[in-house]
């Protein structure tokens, strides 16, 4: 009797073991599939480029400005030499202006952040309790419970520099000044990016000059080169921001097409309707 019970128990155990193993394997496979699905749904991480803003802003402005100038000149039926002379002169002048503007704006932003930080640091040193209360109310306004907000503020109050930086970002919406940031680098990158991208529309004329004297064909070449540069810039912007390539490229191309079309229309109007001559 006992032997039979033992055999039955062994048989039962042997019978259920494959089933249990099947359940474990199935659950493991399901978990693996879920992990893969979650990984696919993970947002794309943006590219942390130090000069990404300067490159994209200067590049887009350069292409649109250069192409718009070429469009207005071509609509006025000026020669290819006029297009190149005016185009490159305008490109260099605007590049210098853009680079210097980026340098000044970055320097100003950095100086303002440093000044703001010094003010908050003085307030934290001399009026710590009111500053802690302000930060406490700020955290509560963001939805944090009073007990948790008090705990966080009291913890931050032990570290003066961290408390100052936190008040800057939370209350003033200003990032602490980055001492490693060099404004002159931003200006130089903006200037170089402006020259590089802004040269694309002019290349249409330069490349076709040995092959044709037809200014219309050269203008079409400038349109093609501008479109290529705008699409590449749109893709680069999408890569940096972690966005979809196609919408970004189309939007950037549309921006340049509208600006160039308006410039061409103005040039044509001044030449043919207003009767302005050379």
- Confidence label for 40 from pLDDT (cuts 50, 70 and 90): low
The pTM of this model reads 0.67
Domain ranges of the chain: 52-271
pLDDT at 115 over 70: yes
d(CA 23, CA 59): 58
d(CA 245, CA 229): 14
Contacts of 177 (CB under 8 A, 6+ apart): 110, 113, 114, 117
For residue range 233-255, what is the model confidence (pLDDT) as tens digits?
A: 888 888 877 778 899 899 988 98
- H or E stretch including 200? helix 183-208
């Amino acid at each position: 009797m006992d032997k039979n019970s033992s055999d039955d128990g062994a048989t039962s155990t042997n019978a259920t073991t494959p089933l249990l193993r099947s359940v474990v394997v199935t659950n493991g496979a399901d978990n693996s599939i879920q992990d893969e699905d979650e990984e696919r749904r993970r947002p794309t991480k943006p590219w942390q480029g130090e000069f990404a803003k300067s490159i994209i802003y200067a590049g887009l402005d350069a292409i649109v400005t250069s192409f718009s100038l070429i469009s207005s000149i071509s609509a006025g039926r000026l020669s290819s030499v006029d297009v190149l002379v005016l185009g490159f002169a305008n490109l260099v002048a605007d590049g210098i202006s853009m680079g210097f503007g980026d340098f000044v704006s970055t320097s100003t932003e950095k100086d303002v952040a440093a000044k703001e930080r010094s003010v908050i640091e003085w307030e934290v040193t001399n009026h710590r309790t009111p500053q802690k209360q302000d930060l406490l109310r700020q955290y509560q306004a963001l939805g944090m419970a009073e007990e948790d907000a008090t705990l966080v503020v009291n913890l931050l109050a032990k570290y003066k520099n961290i408390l100052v930086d936190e008040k800057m970002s939370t209350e003033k919406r200003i990032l602490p000044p980055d001492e490693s940031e060099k404004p002159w680098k931003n200006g130089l990158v903006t200037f170089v990016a402006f020259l590089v991208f802004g040269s694309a529309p002019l290349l249409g004329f330069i490349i076709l000059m040995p092959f044709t004297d037809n200014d219309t064909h050269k203008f079409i070449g400038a349109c093609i080169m501008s479109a290529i540069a705008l699409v590449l810039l749109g893709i680069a912007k999408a890569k940096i921001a972690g966005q979809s390539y196609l919408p970004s490229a189309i939007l950037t191309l549309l921006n340049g097409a509208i600006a160039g079309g308006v410039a061409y229309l103005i040039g044509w109007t001044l030449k043919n309707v207003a009767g302005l001559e050379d």
